[in-house]
Structure 1
């Protein structure tokens, strides 16, 4: 069973395009950074790579490529609110060490992108602040080398928690801000 809904580009496709651009960041971390950027109110544009990776020299993602598809799909999943939001992670058949490490990389990327976009001005609900702290704890975690079925279940629950936390933070920073603008 694959982690990624069919509309999110595959991890190998994203990896390949990143290598062609000379990017050394792991693909899950880049996706986390993109989602953090979007959830924190960063603009979704062709220049997202240079903004998220804080490198003005970076070329934009190729039109029609995996990275452009990653941005478009992630943005629409965040905006959709139907909880179809997905994390770009290795498939469920990968070792728990690989999957947990990729999830922690994703969280590290998310924190960086979110911080860049939201800065200190993020107006977070109590739940949003708590969610951000939890993502920060996950970003600092170390991958587990081996695991049993209980560990597998825990990892799935953590992934689900991260998905919901990201939607909550996007709601706090983007949707609530839009709502406030409409009221004024």
Structure 2
């Protein structure tokens, strides 16, 4: 798993050590990028408390298991609300949490891969599929599914692959916003079936 403390923007106001601890406590054991993608996916739905749903996915309140630490839940709530403000801000913009540029290329590619997997996981939780979207959003969803088939072991350092990563990262960011905007047009009945 990528160490959450090596992640750069957009999570500068967040205690990465505490966040890493929260994510390690999750039965899903997601990377920071995957958890961020999950929340961005949940934000696409018509959910009264998207951050609460995200936390419940990460730290379920299972009766047979040890209850999650209330401090972990509170820390995740703070992180989730920060990310929600970025995504739903007036500029409709956000950045994927990425390892620092000096990190190996495969680590940075893996962060994008994990983010997309998290996003698609959340869409599944919401019951939103490719069929529910139209046009560019449907194509973006398909492209996300294709990105999850990426062979991470074949990634090699090089200027061409660095450029490809920059382009893919920007594509993922824009495609996620396209899906987010398209989900706002899905009839409420479908979005609340989750």
Please tell me the TM-score bracket, short chain as reference: 0.7 to 0.9
Cα distance in 2 between the residues matched to 1:91 and 1:72: 23
1:157 corresponds, among 167, 179, 193, to 167
1:140 corresponds, among 146, 149, 155, to 149
Moved more, 23-32 or 108-117: 23-32
Is 1:113 aligned to residue 122 of structure 2?
yes
Evaluate the alpha carbon distance shift between residue 90 and residue 177 of structure 1 in structure 2; reply closer, same or farther with a 3 A threshold.
Answer: same
- Provide the aligned C-alpha RMSD in A: 2.9
Q: Deviations over 1:115-158 (max 9, x none)?
A: 21143597422100000001111122122442211211110111
Evaluate the alpha carbon distance shift between residue 151 and residue 111 of structure 1 in structure 2; reply closer, same or farther with a 3 A threshold.
Answer: same
2:113/2:147 contact within 8 Å kept: yes
TM-score, scaled relative to structure 1: 0.78
Alignment gaps of 5+ in structure 1: 179-184
TM-score, scaled relative to structure 2: 0.75
Secondary structure, aligned partner of 2:52: coil
Number of residue equivalences: 174
Secondary structure, aligned partner of 2:50: coil
Secondary structure, aligned partner of 1:62: helix
1:8/1:69 contact within 8 Å kept: no
2:50 corresponds, among 44, 51, 55, to 44
Secondary structure, aligned partner of 2:73: coil
Q: Which runs of 4+ in 1 moved over 6 A?
A: none
Cα distance in 2 between the residues matched to 1:131 and 1:68: 29
Alignment correspondent of 2:73:
62
Moved more, 103-112 or 18-27: 18-27
Alignment correspondent of 1:124:
133
Cα distance in 2 between the residues matched to 1:26 and 1:72: 18
Q: Deviations over 1:10-60 (max 9, x none)?
A: 65552233225565222211211121111233442434222x349442646
Is 1:5 aligned to residue 10 of structure 2?
yes
Cα distance in 2 between the residues matched to 1:147 and 1:81: 37
1:30/1:109 contact within 8 Å kept: yes
Alignment gaps of 5+ in structure 2: 1-6, 188-194
Secondary structure, aligned partner of 1:131: helix
